[in-house]
Amino acid sequence: MTDPTPAEKRRAVKLFTDGACRGNPGPGGWAYILHDVATGKERESNGGQPDTTNNRMELMAVIEGLKALKKSCDVQLHSDSKYVLQGLETWMKGWKKNGWRRKTSSGFQPVKNDDLWKQLDELKELHKLKFIYVAGHSGHAENERCDVLAVEAAEAIRTRR
């Protein structure tokens, strides 16, 4: 797909994401912070699900952050999830080519979380993404804030049970 918005008209944003799970599977939470580079304005959001996995929450954080963007943007995606970053940068192309299946030693198997990967694939086409790995729990301010928000969302669901 061609880029719907010329580079000179796209807004530059930084998207910081994290997911958390209380048990795996268990109640989980996701969170993101969107930072507009030009204005310095930030927006954060979080949410969760009652019975999920950490990887699903990591994916949901990115999905929800990208869905919050109303126009095509240049997005620096900052994540502590190698699963998410490698999936977007490397694995997704092969999965799509193989009908959303991954090659294993015993043949092709369905991609785990393919429902979320397919959503990310659609959202990825709307933006120009740059992937930045952030080590978790290393003092990175936005990653730490996302972790707090994701854990809060997971805990809120856990305590409602």
136 in active site: no
19 in active site: yes
58 in active site: yes
| Catalytic residue selected from 18, 26, 35, 65 | 18
| Catalytic residue selected from 28, 35, 142, 147 | 147
| Catalytic residue selected from 29, 35, 80, 87 | 80
Q: At what angle do helices 114-124 and 54-67 cross, to 10 degrees?
A: 30
Distance CA 14, CA 129 (A): 10
Residues whose CB is less than 8 angstroms from the CB of residue 41 and which lie 6 or more positions away in sequence, other chains included = 35
137 in active site: yes
80 in active site: yes
99 in active site: no
For the residues of 58-89, what is the DSSP string, one character each?
Answer: HHHHHHHHHHT--S-EEEEEEES-HHHHHIII
| Catalytic residue selected from 47, 58, 64, 142 | 58
| Catalytic residue selected from 8, 107, 137, 139 | 137
Q: Which residues are catalytic?
A: 18-19, 58, 80, 137, 147
